[in-house]
Amino acid sequence: MSFSPKDFAHLHVHSEFSLLDGASRVEDIVRAVKRLGMDAVAITDHGNMYAAVKFFVAAKKEGIHPVIGCEAYLAPRTRFDKATKEDRQPFHITLLAKNTDGYLNLIKLVTASNFEGFYQKPRIDQELLNTHSNGLVVLSGCIAGLIPKLILGGKSEEACRKAAEFKEVFGSDFYLEMMDNGIPEQRTINSDLLKISKKLGIKVAATNDSHYTERKDAKAQDVLLCIQTGRFIDEEDRMRFGGEEFYLKSAQEMYELFKECPDALTNTKEIAEKCRLEIETGKLHLPEYEVPAGYTSFSYLKKLAMKA
């Protein structure tokens, strides 16, 4: 059976701005999506939104619907806890902006993750996420996500409770994220996610955690990973991606992986349709600061500069 490219959208995609972890250039992502016949794609770089405007402009130019997002790091305890090994191992979670409110909330989350939560990585926490939940679509994340980690740890009931908590905050904008990159543990996770989906009425969404544009780019991404971790390619015990499956797969390839659960594919298009952010370009957006009585902006700036 064939599957229409326009019925699927890649919603978990890393660009060159996932520094030393993504090998896909923004323009290449957009061109690849267009070549594959899809009409929407997201950018979800690790802990930052550096690519947001560049991606938005490039996608619009090619007639592709851009979805702005971020793969955030969720602190195991709070963003202020920075003492233990546990605090150095945050969970991954996929966040997408539905509208301007969501975009502004993403900016606030990323900013706070660096100024308040940074501990080896820029981290948010559940309290911060709940506070800035408006306008966001949330996916439960990759194999390093909170719910998948609980499942792999044999804590399926706790994973179900966490999913229920996310649903309480985000309602129908929370989705259980399924992946199949050939990693055996992912299939265990997917099986439990489907059970949670059925029990709680939470929709599933299939992603591919793309870190490079084409399969042949896997080696280049592996080199970036070595630079990031300070290791050599021929070292056996180093961090590496399992296989060469983390690329922008065609809709048909995704269908072959998830043909037993086609809703996981079509739900990605539903999510993309929810995300209708428009960014005004070609215009400077500068903040406005109020100055004390008796000063102009220039004279008050001069006073502060002289004081410093």
What end-to-end distance do the CA atoms of the chain give, in Å? 69
What is the count of structural domains for the chain? 1
Enumerate the H helices of the chain as residue ranges: 26-35, 52-61, 100-115, 126-131, 146-152, 156-170, 184-200, 218-229, 251-258, 263-274, 297-307
**Can you read off the two tokens belonging to residue 186?**
């992912």
What does DSSP assign to residue 121? Answer: B
Q: What confidence score (pLDDT) does residue 243 get?
A: 82
Enter the tokens of residue 40. 């929407």
What is the C-alpha separation between 214 and 221, in angstroms, rounded? Answer: 11
Q: What is the pTM of this model?
A: 0.91
The residue range of the domain holding 145 is 5-307
Residue listed under structure tokens 């996610």: 193
Provide the pLDDT for residue 35: 97
* pLDDT given at position 1: 63
C-beta neighbour count of 19 within 10 angstroms: 16
pLDDT score recorded for residue 220: 85
pLDDT at 79: 97
User: What is the C-alpha separation between 39 and 146, in angstroms, rounded?
Assistant: 30
pLDDT at 225: 82
Beta bridge partners of 2: none
Q: Which residue type is seen at 13?
A: V
Output the pLDDT for position 66.
98
Q: The CATH number of the domain where 125 resides is what?
A: 3.20.20.140
Please check whether residue 129 is in contact with residue 106, taking contact to mean a CB–CB distance below 8 angstroms: no
3-state DSSP assignment of residue 47: coil
pLDDT digits (tens, 9 = 90+) for 123-155: 999 999 999 999 999 999 999 999 999 999 999
- Per-residue model confidence (pLDDT) at position 78: 97
Q: Over the chain (308 residues), what is each successive 10-residue block's mean pLDDT?
A: 87 95 94 97 97 97 98 97 94 98 98 96 97 98 97 97 98 98 95 98 98 89 84 80 89 96 97 96 84 93 90
Q: What pLDDT, in 10s, does the model give residues 180-227? A: 999 999 999 999 999 999 999 999 999 999 999 999 988 888 888 888
